[in-house]
Amino acid sequence: MGVCGLSMGGVHTPMVGSLHPTPIATLPFLSPHSAVAFCEGILKHGTAWEALREDPAAQTATMTLEEVRERMRNVLSLTDVTCFPIPKNPSTVIFVAATDDGYIPKHSVLELQKAWPGSEVRWVTGDSGRPLCANLMMESEGKDERPVEKWTADVKMEEDEGWA
């Protein structure tokens, strides 16, 4: 039995793998160590920081932008998978990350591997989104001539999952 997730679903995947009572295969794809990714990389530019500064009761900005970012980081740190128990068998955990991912910083993926000794990180050349998924699909179908390890599960991309 195993669990797999992509992006924010990839954050939940190691949570399940960590808390499951038996060892299960855990395959987080393009997953940060926590939702703190909203405070880093490209995602920080899509956050409405000014709106978060406002006190709705007073209708004024009560915190500096730095205070807001720090508060957001503290709230989102509750999702930090590195604080979860190590899975029963960390060798069944394979983190799949992109070498040029603007959403998930490399250090975030490496923090996961460091927290779970025995787990593995597989780096796929490219960024998040369709190009990366297309590469994974070609590799799994044997159309890619590059010497890579084959995936144990088919990669399926759904149009309604927010892909551009």
Backbone dihedral region of 107: left (phi > 0), alpha (psi from -120 to 50 degrees) or beta?
Answer: alpha
Residue 114: predicted pLDDT: 94
> Is 25 in the same domain as 40?
no
Residue 89: predicted pLDDT: 94
Residue 28: predicted pLDDT: 92
> Is 110 in the same domain as 157?
yes
Write a three-state SS string for 46-112.
HCCHHHHHEECCCCEECCCHHHHHHHHHHHHHHHCHHHCCCCCCHHHEEEEEECCCCCCCHHHHHHH
Domain limits at 114? Answer: 2-34+87-161
User: For the residues 130-150, what does the mean pLDDT come to?
Assistant: 50
DSSP 149: P
User: For the residues 62-91, what does the mean pLDDT come to?
Assistant: 88
> Is 21 in the same domain as 56?
no
> Is 56 in the same domain as 30?
no
Cα distances from 125 to residues 31, 33, 85, 136, in angstroms, run: 15, 20, 30, 10
Domain boundary among 46, 79, 112: 79
Checking if the pLDDT of 153 tops 70, the result is no
Checking if the pLDDT of 162 tops 70, the result is no
Name the residue type at position 19: L
pLDDT band for position 42 (cuts 50, 70, 90):
confident
Residue 94: predicted pLDDT: 94
Residue 146: predicted pLDDT: 42
> Is 70 in the same domain as 111?
no
Tens of pLDDT, residues 116-133: 999 999 998 876 654 455
Of residues 54 and 108, the one with the higher pLDDT is 108
Q: Which two tokens stand for residue 42?
A: 């490209």
Of residues 28 and 46, the one with the higher pLDDT is 28
Question: What are the beta bridge partners of residue 121?
Answer: 95
> Is 44 in the same domain as 65?
yes
pLDDT band for position 135 (cuts 50, 70, 90):
low
> Is 156 in the same domain as 121?
yes
Checking if the pLDDT of 147 tops 50, the result is no
* 80 neighbors 105 (Cβ within 8 angstroms): no
> Is 24 in the same domain as 40?
no
- Domain count for the chain, please give it: 2
Average model confidence (pLDDT) across the chain = 77
pLDDT band for position 95 (cuts 50, 70, 90):
very high
User: For the residues 103-118, what does the mean pLDDT come to?
Assistant: 89
> Is 50 in the same domain as 27?
no
